[in-house]
Amino acid sequence: PKAEKGGRKTPSQTGKGLERLILTFEEKAYLPKKCKKGWGRKKGDQQEPRKQYQVVKKWQTEVEIIKRSCRKE
């Protein structure tokens, strides 16, 4: 009765109308984009070895850490 008089529509009527409206849009904008895969590593290439860092224990004082780093260099 509300819709016949030109009044407000019910939530279900609004949902149905919205679904019909959305289905009229062009799908291309919503489809996932295609992308090319990376080249990867070439044959025979090797990664550089990672830099090894000194293990620092929490209970050491700053003075001990400085002394240790000076001795190794």
Tens digits of residue pLDDT in 13-68: 888 888 888 888 887 777 888 888 888 889 999 999 999 998 877 776 777 777 77
Check residue 72 and give its pLDDT: 57
Banded pLDDT at 4 (limits 50, 70, 90): low
Check residue 50 and give its pLDDT: 93
Alpha-carbon distances, residue 44 vs 48, 49, 71 (angstroms): 13, 15, 38
Banded pLDDT at 2 (limits 50, 70, 90): low
pTM of the model: 0.30
